[in-house]
Amino acid sequence: MKNLLKNVSFVILLMKMCLIFGQEIDVQKRIVIDVGHGGKDAGAIGINGIQEKDVVLSIANEILRLNDDLDKPLDIYLTRYSDTLISLSDRTKLTKALNADLFLSLHCNHSDNTDARGIEVYASRKHGKFSKPSVFIGYQIERALCKAVGYESRGVKFANFQVLSETIDYCPAVLIELGFLSNRDEASYISDNNIKPIALSILSSIQNQ
Ligand SMILES: [Zn+2]
C-alpha cells in the first residue's frame, strides 16, 4: 500500500512537471511591430506616389495574417492598426508595458539619389556599446529579405533613433528600412503588391530567432 501511494505521488509529480513544461513551451514570444509614421505624417513619398505610412501598415497587417495561420502563432502587437499618428514615446511606452521580447520598427527609405537601393537595418549603440541580440536579429531579417526578395544588403548600421534608444534597455530592438521608395524598381516592386514575401521573411526570421 505504501509503495502504491509512493507510485501515485510520483505519477502526480510527473504530471505536474509535464504541465509546467507544457506551459513553458506554449509561451510564445511577444513581439511589438512598430508601424512607422501614420495620419498626417505620411513618411517618405515614393517616386510613383505611394506613401511610406501605407506600405508599412500593409506589411504589418500581412505579418499578422500570416502569423494567425501558424500552428503556434507569436504574440504580436502593432503600435498602430490604422492610419493614425502615434507619438514616438507612446510607441516605446507600449513596448515596455507589454514586456516585449522584441521591438521591430518598420520603415521605407528615401534618397535624392534615385539609384540608391537595398535594405538597411539599424540598431542602437549607447555609450559605445551595442546590443548583440539586436544586431543578430537585424542580420537574420536582412539576410532573409535579401534572399527572398532579391534586395541588396546595405548592412546593419548604428543610429540612436528615439524608438531604439528608448527600448534597447528592455529588449532587442531594430529598425528596418524596407527598400527605397525613391528608387523606381523598389517602389514599383512594393506597389505591385509584393508585400507577402516581405512579410513572410520578417515573420520567419523572428519566429526562428
Ligand atoms: Zn520612416
Distance from the alpha carbon of residue 36 to the mean position of ligand 1, in angstroms: 6
Distance from the alpha carbon of residue 121 to the mean position of ligand 1, in angstroms: 12
CA distances from 100 to 54, 88, 92, 170 (A): 24, 16, 10, 8
Distance from the alpha carbon of residue 149 to the mean position of ligand 1, in angstroms: 20
- Residue range 81-134, pLDDT digits in tens: 999 999 999 999 999 999 999 999 999 999 999 999 999 999 998 878 889 999
Residue 171 lies in a domain: yes
Residue 117 belongs to domain with CATH number: 3.40.630.40
pLDDT exceeds 90 at position 4: no
pLDDT exceeds 80 at position 11: no
| Domain count for the chain | 1
Distance from the alpha carbon of residue 35 to the mean position of ligand 1, in angstroms: 9
Residue 162 lies in a domain: yes
Distance from the alpha carbon of residue 44 to the mean position of ligand 1, in angstroms: 6
Residue 126 lies in a domain: yes
Residue 72 lies in a domain: yes
What pLDDT is recorded for position 88? 97
What pLDDT is recorded for position 193? 82
What pLDDT is recorded for position 127? 78
Distance from the alpha carbon of residue 109 to the mean position of ligand 1, in angstroms: 7
pTM, full prediction: 0.87
Residue 198 lies in a domain: yes
Residue 177 lies in a domain: yes
- Residue range 167-199, pLDDT digits in tens: 999 999 999 999 999 999 999 999 888 999 999
- 35, 178 in Cβ contact below 8 A? no
Distance from the alpha carbon of residue 108 to the mean position of ligand 1, in angstroms: 6
Residue 56 lies in a domain: yes
In angstroms, rounded to a whole number, what is the distance separating the alpha carbons of residues 58 and 43? 14
What is the C-alpha end-to-end distance of the chain, expressed in Å?
A: 50
Q: What is the mean pLDDT of residues 143-169?
A: 94
Residue 87 lies in a domain: no
Distance from the alpha carbon of residue 6 to the mean position of ligand 1, in angstroms: 63
- Residue range 29-75, pLDDT digits in tens: 999 999 999 999 999 999 999 999 999 999 999 999 999 999 999 99
Distance from the alpha carbon of residue 129 to the mean position of ligand 1, in angstroms: 24
List the domain range (segments joined by +) for residue 111: 36-77+101-207
Distance from the alpha carbon of residue 175 to the mean position of ligand 1, in angstroms: 9
